[in-house]
Each structure stands twice: as structure tokens, then as C-alpha cells.
Amino acid sequence: MASEDEDFSDLLKQCEGIPLHALRTSVRRFLSKYLDVEGAMYGDRFNDYNGLAELAGFDYKDIQNFQRHRSPTEQLLHTWGNRPDLHPTCENLVKYLLQLDRRDILTDCRDFIVKEIEEFKKNTSNLLKQTDRFSQIPQQRNENGSRLNEDEVISVEDAVNGARGDMHYWDAFVIYNPEGKDLSFVKQMADILEGPEYNLRLFIPWRDDLPGTAQHEVTAKLIAERCRRTIVILSTDFHKSSVADFQLKFAQCLSPGARSKKVIPIRINMCGIPSILKIVTVCDFTKEETIEWAWPRVAAVLKSPLNPDPRQYSVSPETLKDIKLDTEFANIPKAFWALTVATMPFPDPYEAPT
């Protein structure tokens, strides 16, 4: 085995220290064309995604879950990449494929894997030094080649990958109360919607926002200009958060009458629905028997066209600095009408639970 593996020694060396998430969707789909097909027994394992999952450290229940997806291999790679305890690296991927005698895959995919690794090293070299990810933020450039303004660096992705010169956008901003049990649902939602089946991008506060920024100013800019839609996690804990309440009012004001379907309410337990969402259809996750139908519905509306596009909104820095969390007073300029409504008191914000 050792002598046979020498053919891939260079590839293994290039893969050292490279996390699995360096492999983008195109390469993962290429791998799935080989591994999704039922393999043959090699030793005591099948040499398809089942054997790869076993070598990676997944148990029978995990593998059964992979089988339920359209591409078990893509779901395996996505889940593995989010399990640091299972050491998700490109090096281990190559080692496990060699152990399964899948040199055919490595031969055909070698050039693609090497290209992805080189691109990853180029764009995230500061992360590979295993230092504080924010200790050496790279020079950041906008589309015109000039340095990004301080106001434009408002997320972890902006700070870490800004050297590529891209302005980052997300499919949805997630509004929720992290102090309750809702955080577990949000993590599950991220795992599903950001997974290979839907491949969406969510901005999740406390995961993607930068510490030390003006929280409410940045939130307003993200919802208005950088996120196509807003997902609101409704629960018995939601109304306990004044921050979540403000974010919802602000987002709903950008979509008066729900014409653009910008706000997507998701109810995860039997709770009151805010009055400003009465005309909006709520996606119900309270019934176990219909949850499997709910995820495709949420993904479909996130992928549907949005009019107007969030990049057409223009919120000046001066306006954003006037945003106040206190909803008892409308201490903001009249130029941005949405903020006026966002800061209005709502005397009866929640209807009785149904």
C-alpha cells in the first residue's frame, strides 16, 4: 500500500493543513459522481460514500441520514466540514480515498483539488498561520481597486476575505433571540439551508458580525443593503428581545404590504404573532409531520427573484448613525421613511396564541 501511495505523495503534501471547506461546490459535485454510486466491498467497507463516512468517524445513524439526501456525498462533505472533532481536512480526504482504493477518483480529480488548494492558500493565507484571525486583516479593495471604507467592513467575511475585492451579499438576515432555545433551531437551519442541497448564504448575528461595531447601525445596513431577505424566528422567546423586535420592525418597513416577500416568518413553537406580520404567511415548524415540506418552501422563497434588489437601497452613514434601539421615540431624520415606522411604538404587538 505504501509504495502504491507514493504516486499521490505530492498531492498529500499539498493538502497538509488545508481544511475541507477549501473544496468548493464544483469539486464536491465531481466527487459525488463517483462516490454516490454504490461501490464494491474493499476489505470490510464499501468503497463509496458509506466507507468514506465510516473512515471519517460517522456512525450508522449519521450515514442513514446522508442516504436521505439527493447527493449523500455532498451532504457528508458538508457535515464533515462542520465537525472539527472529526478532523475535516483535504489531507484526510485523500488518505481515506486511498484506503478505499479509489485511486481512480484521485487521478481524475487531482488537478481540480490542487487548483482549489492553491486558490484557498492565495485568499486565506492569513488564516493558515493559525494566529488570531483578526490580528492581521489583509488590505481590502473594492470593485474599483480602492481600499474598502471602514463602513463597508461589517462582517467576519468582509474582514477575512476582503482582500479578494468582493462586496459580500447574503440571501437572508436571520432575526432571532440567542438567549433562549431558538439558537439550536438556527444552527439546524444553517446546516440545512447552507448545505449542498440548497447552497444558500445566511447572515446570522453572533456568528457573522464583527465585535466592536455599532450593532444597530450595522444591522440596519445589512438588512437594507446586503441581505436579500430577512428570516424571523418566532417563538415564545422572540418577544423578550428588544433587539429582535427592532430588527423585525425595520425589515418589515422595507417591505410595506409584504409586496417583495422580504420578510419570511418561521414559527417554531406555539406563540403569538406580531401584529405587523398579520398579512404575511407564516411558515409553520410546530408540526413534526410537515417539517420535511417546510424546508423546501423556505429555500424556494429565498431563491425567488426579489424586487427591489437590496443593492438598490441607499442608506447614508449619517442616517444610520441616527438609528436608536429605543422604540418609544422617533429620533431620526424624515429622509428615510422606513426608520420612522421602525421606531414607532406598537401598543399591541402580539396577538393571542392560536
Per-residue pLDDT tens digits for 241-288: 888 888 888 887 765 544 456 889 999 998 888 877 877 888 999 988
Checking if the pLDDT of 118 tops 90, the result is no
Write a three-state SS string for 210-240: CCCCCHHHHHHHHHHHHEEEEEEEECCCHHH
Checking if the pLDDT of 145 tops 80, the result is no
Q: How many CB atoms lie within 10 A of CB 328?
A: 9
CA trace torsion 18, 21, 27, 29 (10° rounding): 150
What's residue 212's pLDDT? 58
Q: Return the sign of the alpha-carbon dihedral for residues 58, 87, 166, 233.
A: positive
Percentage of the chain with pLDDT > 70? 68
Question: What is residue 26's three-state secondary structure?
Answer: helix
Beta bridge partners of 266: 233, 283
What's residue 143's pLDDT? 45
**Between 308 and 82, residue with greater pLDDT:** 82
The DSSP symbol for 353 reads P
pTM of the model: 0.52
What's residue 126's pLDDT? 44
Buried b (16+ CB within 10 A) or exposed e, 174-204: bbbbeebebbebbeebbebbbbbbbebbbbb
Q: What is the mean pLDDT of the chain?
A: 75
Contacts with 218 (C-beta within 8 Å, 6 or more apart), sequence order: 154, 209, 210
**Between 73 and 222, residue with greater pLDDT:** 73
**Of 150-159, 163-172, 323-332, which has the strongest mean pLDDT?**
163-172
**Of 36-45, 203-212, 257-266, which has the strongest mean pLDDT?**
36-45
What's residue 264's pLDDT? 92
H or E segment at 175? strand 170-175
Per-residue pLDDT tens digits for 13-23: 889 888 888 88
Per-residue pLDDT tens digits for 296-352: 999 998 988 765 444 444 445 555 555 444 433 333 333 343 444 343 443 433 444
**Between 220 and 264, residue with greater pLDDT:** 264
- Distance in angstroms (rounded) separating the CA atoms of residues 202 and 224: 15
Cell numbers for 289:
409531520
Checking if the pLDDT of 7 tops 60, the result is yes
**Between 6 and 121, residue with greater pLDDT:** 121
Checking if the pLDDT of 202 tops 80, the result is yes
What's residue 19's pLDDT? 84
